[in-house]
Amino acid sequence: MENSTFTELMTKLEQRTARVVVLGLGYVGLPLATVFCEAGFRVVGIDPVEEKVNEINSGRSYVLDIPDEQVDRLVKSGLLSATTDFSALKDADAVSICVPTPLRKTGDPDLSFIVSATESLAPYLHKGMVVVLESSTYPGTTRELVLTRLCEVGGLQVGKDFFLAFSPERVDPGRKDWTTYNTPKVVGGITSACTKISAAWYGQALKTVVPVTSTEVAEMAKLLENTFRMINIGLVNELAIMCDRLGIDVWEVIEAAATKPFGFMKFTPGPGLGGHCIPIDPLYLSWKLRSLNYNARFIELASEINTNMPRFALGKIQDALNDRGKPLKGSRVLVLGVAYKPDIDDLRESPALDVIGLLRKKGAQVSYHDPYIPAISHDDWTLQSVEDLMAQVKTADCVAVITNHSSYDYPAILETASLIVDTRNALGNMGRDHPKVVRL
């Protein structure tokens, strides 16, 4: 049943006079804020990091996908502003929460950012407000953590006085074809009125909105998307281990299988699983199911295999050197590419960090090159990206391709190196059956 609060808010959203606040201005929040601005909403971005706020208010962007020009234009037009002050929420009609959901050191979900954002919002919750959580999390979070805290605010009833929904972020940093604007957006509310009003809000700014019947469906859809990916990467990683035992070229096997025009989806093995989504989101799901006495075996097994891949890559490097009469200990190993995936500058959860750590533990003289990452400080070691790449390739006992950035001149590297362990098939057919090349 739609009441006057619902219809008044709906009118503001449809007329785009609703005042929008985006909580958290990272790789999800800033693009979302700009998309609302481009639709004509006035948006205040709130972030606790003053440097980010100053960058935005100065017309500059620190997010790969958002150009300075766009931020500058939106700030100068008065549509976009940023602040560290959460009291900006008091004037908000529509709030999107885009905060991190990492793992703790224990491997359990860290929901502290969601709780903190909700507790900052609660004092400003008022009649006629819609709140949407975007952070990837386990099914039930919006209802159990966000709704319970917002309902503690005196006398306001969800679905009647305020509206609450979940809408999973689908941002793939660096991607040009699918953006925040044109990627279909799932939205699920606590009540049908919550779904309707959140979908209407997002529908004013995004190309396609997909309403679903609950926050749990929306939360679970996101986890299916990324668990699907993690498990299939785990499958091809185990296939690489099997092919290694069988003496079969796994890359040729995958290329052959990928010729099937239906019923198959290509994934490729590698030295491990990086990033802030794929290795982490599925563990939110398995953690939740454990609390319900269910063991999500596919997730646990795939995670175990993916986590072991840096050690498998180490073994390939060790064997390749050994076959050339060189112990790993004391050998000069140049790691090529350390970002968690090609052509980006993001190091989060990168398997390169594990491979370098394992090489150092074995006594190898490890250096690295990555055009996007000038320096690394991790655990008890710090390294700088080497300067003269080809000189380092020439002197290395082994070049280990860990992240296959497209900017590398692979033919020149093949010509210059004495030994290459290619964990990403970066050399392609050049590397097949080449005496200097060992592939995963």
* Cα 409 from Cα 425, distance rounded (Å): 14
Nearer to ligand SAJ, 272 or 431 (CB): 272
**By CB under 6 A, is residue 336 in contact with ligand SAJ?**
no
Q: Which of 124, 181, 267, 287 binds ligand SAJ (CB under 6 A)?
A: 267
* Cα 25 from Cα 132, distance rounded (Å): 15
Instruction: Compose the 28-67 pattern: x for residues touching ligand SAJ by CB under 6 A, - for all others.
Output: ----------------------------------------
Nearer to ligand SAJ, 45 or 270 (CB): 270
Provide, rounded to whole angstroms, the least separation between the CB of residue 143 and ligand SAJ. Answer: 22
Question: CB-based burial of residue 435 (10 Å sphere; 0-12 exposed, 13-18 middle, 19+ buried)?
Answer: exposed
CB atoms within 10 A of CB 360: 16
**By CB under 6 A, is residue 196 in contact with ligand SAJ?**
no
Assign 329 to helix, strand or coil. Answer: coil
Please give the size of the binding site for ligand SAJ, defined by CB under 6 A.
18
**By CB under 6 A, is residue 439 in contact with ligand SAJ?**
no
Q: Which secondary-structure segment (H or E) carries 21?
A: strand 19-23
With contacts defined by CB under 6 A, name the span among 65-73, 198-206, 226-234, 371-379 that binds ligand SAJ.
226-234
Q: Which of 5, 226, 416, 423 binds ligand SAJ (CB under 6 A)?
A: 226
Q: Which of 81, 83, 268, 395 binds ligand SAJ (CB under 6 A)?
A: 268
Provide, rounded to whole angstroms, the least separation between the CB of residue 206 and ligand SAJ. Answer: 14
Residues in the chain: 440
Q: Which of 201, 340, 408, 410 binds ligand SAJ (CB under 6 A)?
A: 340
Catalytic residue among 194, 243, 277, 398: 277
Assign 383 to helix, strand or coil. Answer: strand
CB atoms within 10 A of CB 160: 16
Instruction: Compose the 273-302 pattern: x for residues touching ligand SAJ by CB under 6 A, - for all others.
Output: xxx-xx------------------------
- Does residue 277 have an active-site annotation? yes
**By CB under 6 A, is residue 172 in contact with ligand SAJ?**
yes
Provide, rounded to whole angstroms, the least separation between the CB of residue 168 and ligand SAJ. Answer: 8
Sign of CA dihedral 252, 258, 263, 269: positive
Rounded alpha-carbon distances, angstroms, from residue 361 to 309, 311, 314, 366: 16, 12, 11, 10
Q: Which secondary-structure segment (H or E) carries 137?
A: none
Provide, rounded to whole angstroms, the least separation between the CB of residue 54 and ligand SAJ. Answer: 28
Rounded alpha-carbon distances, angstroms, from residue 391 to 195, 359, 438: 59, 21, 21
With contacts defined by CB under 6 A, name the span among 68-76, 166-174, 198-206, 380-388 that binds ligand SAJ.
166-174
With contacts defined by CB under 6 A, name the span among 17-25, 107-115, 268-276, 323-331 that binds ligand SAJ.
268-276
Nearer to ligand SAJ, 209 or 328 (CB): 209
Which one-letter amino acid corresponds to residue 252? E
Q: Which of 341, 369, 405, 439 binds ligand SAJ (CB under 6 A)?
A: 341
The set of residues, in sequence order, having a beta carbon less than 8 Å from that of 310 and lying 6+ positions away, is 271, 272, 351, 354, 355, 358
CB atoms within 10 A of CB 104: 10
Please tell me what DSSP assigns to residue 368. E
Question: In 3D, which of 205, 206, 209, 207 has the Cα closest to residue 40?
Answer: 205
Assign 436 to helix, strand or coil. Answer: coil
Nearer to ligand SAJ, 22 or 74 (CB): 22
The β-bridge relationship of strands 94-97 and 80-83 is unpaired
**By CB under 6 A, is residue 223 in contact with ligand SAJ?**
no
Residues 406-435 that bind ligand SAJ (CB under 6 A): none
Provide, rounded to whole angstroms, the least separation between the CB of residue 382 and ligand SAJ. Answer: 22
Rg, Å, the chain Cα set: 24
**By CB under 6 A, is residue 233 in contact with ligand SAJ?**
yes
Q: Taking the chain, what is the end-to-end CA distance rounded to the nearest angstrom?
A: 59
The set of residues, in sequence order, having a beta carbon less than 8 Å from that of 211 and lying 6+ positions away, is 187, 188, 195, 196, 199
**By CB under 6 A, is residue 308 in contact with ligand SAJ?**
no
Nearer to ligand SAJ, 277 or 353 (CB): 277
Contact 44, 82 (CB under 8 A): yes
Nearer to ligand SAJ, 264 or 294 (CB): 264
Nearer to ligand SAJ, 229 or 288 (CB): 229
**By CB under 6 A, is residue 400 in contact with ligand SAJ?**
no
**By CB under 6 A, is residue 229 in contact with ligand SAJ?**
yes
* Cα 69 from Cα 79, distance rounded (Å): 14
In the complex, the residues that contact ligand SAJ under the rule CB under 6 A are: 169-172, 225-226, 229, 233, 267-268, 270, 273-275, 277-278, 340-341
For the annotated catalytic residues, the residue numbers are 277
